[in-house]
Structure 1
Amino acid sequence: MASAHLEYIAAGGNRHPCAADWSEELLAYGSGHNIAIWRPENNNHKGVETLLAGHTEIVNAVKLFRDPTSKKRVLISGSADKTVCVWIEQNNASFELVKRLTEHTASINVIGLLPEAGVFATGAADATLKIWKLRVSENADVEADLIQNINLTPRYFPLAIALTKLQSGQLVIAVGGTTANIQIYLQDKDKDTSSLAAKLTGHEAWVRALDFTRESSKPDSDFLLASASQDKYIRLWRFHAGTELPEVAAAASDPAMTVFGRSLSNKAHWIGEGDSKHSITFEALLIGHEDWIYTARWFTKNVEDATPQLLSSSADNSLAMWERDADGFWTCATRLGEISAQKGSTTATGSTGGFWIGLWSPSGQTVVSLGRTGSWRMWSYDNKEDRWLRELGISGHVRSVKDVAWSNDGTQLMSTSSDQTTRLFSQWKQETAHTWHEMARPQIHGYDLNCLSAIGTTQFISGADEKLLRVFNKPKAIAQLLAKLGDTAEDAEDADLPDAANMPVLGLSNKAINALTAEEEAAAEPSEEVTITKSTLDLAHPPFEDHLARHTLFPELEKLYGHGYEISCVAASHDGSLVATACRASSLDHAVIRLYETKEWREIRPALTAHSLTVTCLSFSPDDKYLLSVGRDRQWALFARTEGTNYELAASNPKGHSRMILSCSWAPSSSSHIFATAGRDKNVKIWQVASGDGVNAECNLTIPTTAPATSVAFYTGSLAASNTIILAAGTEEGNIAISAISTDDWTLKEQYQITKQMLPSSAINALRWRPSVNEEEEKQAQLAVASEDLSVRIFAFEILPGA
């Protein structure tokens, strides 16, 4: 019986300050409309373990915690689909959706939580705040009752919520958002409902983050509220029990305390009555960030009289850790992130676009941040060196992945996406584990990328919405890094490659450059051009995000012109001598296939004609004798090689499918010119080329699918039986079926469906089997999947169907 497991998932994080949370060893973050589960402190560096599919729109808010009553781990998520989902952990990092709350009428932007009280609050773009009571039983039954609906007035959208309980047991809710004020709601005595008790003023722009902490572990300790804003400042507020003001507030009311000519008002706000009476006073103004502040999170050590620390993340590309010194002043004790001359640059490789999320680990020894590129950066505190050291994070695309392609030797996988990047993944072979990582970001573009194909082992070609194709060479530094980390010998032709590449300001063409030694860099005259030292790329681990974004570009070799519209597909011949391309088209004039030879990169004329609408997929037969094309006009066309590099139309079927054909693939060469087509008519068809008086192809088998078939790929390795061909087919719903087909009687011997928990939650855009790296060592088949749900996945099959 066939079996499969997920070898690797790459999925970028959503750029929303509330879209991640870290509890115990698990970090959960929104990735598109999925939720990714990752163990940051796992020494094996495995990366994302699973993606939870339950939402239909982008996930904006995530909270992860262990319920104190049932001891079950609970995850609460909010999405732009207007729903709140409650998940319960079933076993190790596997969560099940048990409750969906649909009371909101607009996108959920933020979730606030107080586990010990069993209460959480949700804020949405309908300008409402909803308070919920959560009950989780030991058998994982969940009840979530709506206690109160608060219409925020004057009308604004909540972006930050923080909850705490006063000594009297009353619940306090702080709310901030698209207003400069912070509203404080206090629970009414002997009721579950809350009412507005105070309005804190001082910020001059939207409030992005709020977080409560106790000042110390003493029972009568004051509470501190941190508020972070787009005005670049963090304000601290003190909640003090009793009818008298705290000493700090009285001292701070000195009129001499001013900043930038404006007085720091310390008006006291009073909430509660009797035993629950508290004063709220301004405590401190934290100045240091140079741009909007997105998150602020407290961390307090479980040590008596330990001073709380505050972690803030900002659009200025930095994380800041704030502590109170011996004199009682709050200062920035540590700053992590980007500090460079390129900060704020508008070039694609200049600025990281800011840090949107900053999180403490539960131990406080590790911090992570999420940036514009969807990648997580990580730092861990080293007690011996008394400083924070960079650790290996994870990365992934932040928009739909359009295509994937393996290098001819099977050692590298490349993906391209609507997020305008091309990424290269490869294995890091350590003694204890072999894990996949993003090793390079060959292309950072200004247009959405649609397709790519590998040309040999050192080149690739990609097509985008810019109507032309670009050819790239692998730089020497990346070739050496891949050989070093992948434990393989360097290719002889790598010696002639350029060292690295950079992208000129306001340009899209990666320019080859040579890396300098430290001595050469010191002797070089100052220049506006980016220089790279050899040591920068001499790494003992996969590159960090700043390396990926700046130093791993591939130099551009050639541009291919000729098409009049956005490029739709590209394919390279197996011998690497030809490239076939097509573009989006609504007429015969543009629905042509253009061929380019790869020696001089000249177009072979005339262009091949057969289709009347967009060609959606191109594929060369294993012996390069035929070029197969399929399109939106519902037909497939077969072009036969005549002499040299010339192809001519040999056969076509105008009614190959009853609806548009979206994908095609050739079976291995041992199967004598068999190909498959996948259509929107929910059918996958297997055809065999028969060459008698002329070339023709007969349909030998039709395999129905549950949804429109969007991608097909034949397995090309050696694990299949001699009379069996293995075909993977993906659908618009994200399903993947592996079929074993007998070539003796053209019957379906066996079909294996990958389980739903491992599948993408959106359409499959591309399927590619990994070429055999070493047939003697090949023990499993690996399938790469590109999906509309932002993910790149690699499935490993220990046993194939029918094998």
Structure 2
Amino acid sequence: MYDSPAKGILPLPKKTYFDIKREILKVQDARARIHLNFKQPSAPSICMYTFHNTNDNLICLEFNENCNIIAGGFEDSYIQLWSLDGSPLNSIIKGDKNNNQYSRKLIGHSGAVYGISFSPDNRYMLSCSADKTVRLWSLDTYTSLVCYKAHIQPIWDVKFSPFGYYFATASHDQTACLWSCDHIYPLRIFAGHLDDVDCIEFHPNSTYVFTGSADKSIRMWDVTSGECVRVFYGHAQGVSCLAVSPDGRWLASGGHDSIINLWDIGAGRKLKILRGHGRSSIYSLSFSREGNILVSGAGDNSVRIWDVKKGTTEYVSEPEAFQLKNEVNSNIQNAADNKNGNVNKRGDNLNGKRNETIGGVKNDVNVERRRKEVITSLDHMAAFFTKKTPVYKVHFTRRNLCLAAGAFTG
């Protein structure tokens, strides 16, 4: 963006040992990353986690930055943590009876838990609830450290900034707030939406915040001034999730209208509409590390993959496959054989169609299948279906493996 703020304008605490360790891990993962942008984008590998026996109480799911822990927020006011890499969730408190266990239950809220966010250094976790509070949890002791109070209605979403220290909340009171971990009061209050603020997301440079609302709009806020600098209109119903590309150029928004909009943040305009989830609400979006692949999870029990650049000015047309001379001659012969075979089969097909029509009513065995088919846009690359599990969360790891999670509803 031409009017982007200068680097370092956002005050941050001094770097610690954990920050340096995190940067080293980023470099190591970047070297081992699976690249999805050779000439043409390719579909990523997806690992799906399904949670059983939740009794429809599981509301939200979140992966931590290292992708070795997943947290779930429940309607019964507690948070459950699970280990994904087989290591126990041990506390630094000696004599903790829950040490050497692979899951932990965190109790502190007095209402349903609607949102969870992990800090970039994986040492802290935030949760927001219907009790109008946000809690900061330590992942060293698995205890609640701070309770933040400012909203006067339930809080729907909470997000840590990419650099940590700051976080943002979205609430039913039609406002969003910016906080820092060492202050119990909000630093900024973003007011301007005309309905619930349902989701919130930081720009990668942490100086902008995006909010999606039930008033069908998305607003972009300047963290330093607290002013709204962009407004995006394009959804027919409320906005349910947001994602920003790693390079900070693209914004993807999913709504209850079953569509995904892709926006150019710098120009403030809509680039295209992604269709394919039928009539289901979009629950989660995530960009690949190169920013050329978008993955979405929705209530239609599917994970779908999209080509971000297709249909834009940056799209490179797919090159034709190189063929040897013998292969070309073979293809010509196969085409001729297929033509002759189609002529011979034409009469059989006509007889089959006559037999299929009984009493003037055509018995089309594919009618029911066609009803279930969903029309997708041209940038739709692939779809992966679960049995009866709505996909609550999709997340790309630093090595470009896509993780997905949901609760079984069968």
TM-score by length of 1: 0.26
Between structures 1 and 2, the one with greater strand share:
1
Between structures 1 and 2, the one with greater helix share:
2
Bigger Rg, structure 1 or 2? 1
